Chains A and B, each alone.
Chain A
Amino acid sequence: MEIIPLGDSALVLRVRERFEDAPEETLNEVLRVFELLQRAAIPGVIELAPAYTSVAVFFDPITIAKASETPDDVFDWLASRIRGVVAAGADRRRKVRSRARNVEIAVCYDSQFAPDIDDVARHTQLPATEIVNLHTATEYRVACIGFVPGFPFLAGLPKSLATPRRGVPRKEIPPGSVGIGGAQTGIYPLRSPGGWNLIGRTPLKLFDPTKNPPTLLRPGDRVRFRAITRKEFATISEDPPK
């Protein structure tokens, strides 16, 4: 475990070096550390953010200087507190329950919502129907949320579906668009630019600032896609699940 400064008011705790080698195990370990630190409520720690192999810890150096009584060693004090929390947590590995939830996401793969499915078909040498079958037959995990609020980076895309990002990114992508970018799949929660290949669209709201937490998905969640018709898409859009 490596602890590296991310500026003077944040640090990154690298739990593992690589992600792709063992995504499931790495993510579980990252979420376990995230959970332990969340519970530990170390003075001066403002917030935590997990991503792939790491947990970022944002802190207030002023509060820590006061708490530690060693203003010259804010970073070392915090790093040693973090090491202590993680080491103590190693003994009771089983007691930390996983935050992972199971979430199903309805996606309409109709050509109207899938402007890039032909490009993906060309690249993967698979017919569009097979792309949809593979995309819906897989369980994914949210490795991280970022890029824009609520955008889930989903790990677990079948290797046969991996398709490089588009050479020229789109300036505007409609909210709910489901895309493939390299070895990952994800969903655009907001109207935003983006370079992923769009193969479908969900009528679900991925980000809602009037709710807290504001996102449909959280890091670690297990996600499955369910193919729906255009009619179902319209029904869900009009009457979204609460």
Chain B
Amino acid sequence: MNAVVTRAGFLTSVQDLGRTGLRQFGVPTSGALDSFALRVANLLVGNDEGAAGLEITLGGLQLRFQDERIVAWCGGEFEVQIGSRALPAGHVAHLQSGDELKFGRAQFGCRCWVAISGGIDVPVVLASRSTDLRANFGGFEGRPVRDGDQLSLGESRRPEPEATARISSWTAPHDWASPASSHPNLRFIRGVDWNRFNDVTIQRFTNQQFIVSPDSDRMGVRFDGPELNREDETDLVSEAVAPGTIQVPPSGKPILLLGDCQTIGGYPKIAYVITVDLGVAAQLRAGDHVRFSKVSLQDAHRVLLERERDLERFRVGLTLQRS
């Protein structure tokens, strides 16, 4: 069965956990910019964590369902309605055929991820269902969804009414469901070119606020505010970059790379935002004020492992409720 896009909103695309194995061919990761949010939403609706969902930017999506489905979403502060019922982030709703799911505009934050039981059944292209919006392949016809598109949904077992009732009372922890913050702080580890910047510049980077530029997209968040000028002018040999890399072009205005970023770069890399905070980064929108704070690589791994253990407990809890 399908879900009909009655309104596509500003920018909505089909994404899963992204592409791997193709960087040597220059193919970027793509995928949900907050892959953790999509994993949590998928678990809530009973999908595999990696099922394809929708990434909604700034809201406005309306979807009409043609059969019974379970839905859940995680991300920024959006008002989401099913008829007159509100569906808060991290909660589960059971939709009937004919129901319409409506996302208002983001009050706060920038994006959210919707999981639908059965997942979105677009063809797997290069090992993923994610849309590559720059190279125009994958996802729904290699493009953002438009008004009137019919999204084919995967097979979903008809939920047991009792289990559904039990799961309806289950919610994801608040900071998983709503990672957007009014005072975003991004933790980072030192970049390989850290020492190419003098003390004054490093102080600026770690003490001052940076303002998100309107010129930001799924490739990267560009920042206005303090300029980070390099000490030396050596030409660097291009090498790999990854989502989370903060590079500094000659303008001195840093760019935080996100999921659609290119695979290599030649700008100095001052820092890398830690994986756990990429979900916060995915919520940044024009005008937001951001601070950066330094952590060790060990700490970055520690918080990542902790979060994974918590997710494992959450997964087990959900499985018990369903059985």
Binding site for B on A (CB under 8 A): 4-10, 12, 14, 18-19, 34, 46-54, 56, 58, 61-62, 65, 71-75, 144-151, 153, 190, 192, 207, 209-210, 212-215, 218-219
Contacts and interface: CB of A to CB of B under 8 A. Distances in A.
A171 B126 CA distance: 27
Given A145-B26, A209-B138, A215-B26, A9 B242 contact: yes
A219 B234 CA distance: 25
A58 B245 CA distance: 13
B21 A46 contact: yes
Given A6-B245, A6-B272, A147-B26, A207 B135 contact: yes
Given A6-B241, A7-B242, A147-B262, A49 B304 contact: no
B242 A62 contact: no
A148 B260 CA distance: 10
B313 interface: no
B316 interface: no
B181 to A, nearest CB: 20
Contacts of A61: 275, 301, 304-305
Contacts, number: 149
A144 B244 CA distance: 21
B23 interface: yes
Nearest to A14: B239
A48 B239 CA distance: 12
Interface string B233-262: 000011111101100000000000000001
A144 B238 contact: yes
Contact of A9 (B263, B269, B275, B308): B275
Given A47-B20, A149-B26, 5 more contacts: A5-B272, A58-B23, A61-B304, A149-B135, A210-B125
9 contacts: A6-B241, A7-B245, A62-B304, A71-B305, A144-B238, A146-B26, A148-B262, A149-B22, A209-B137
B84 interface: no
Interface string B287-313: 000000000011011101100100000
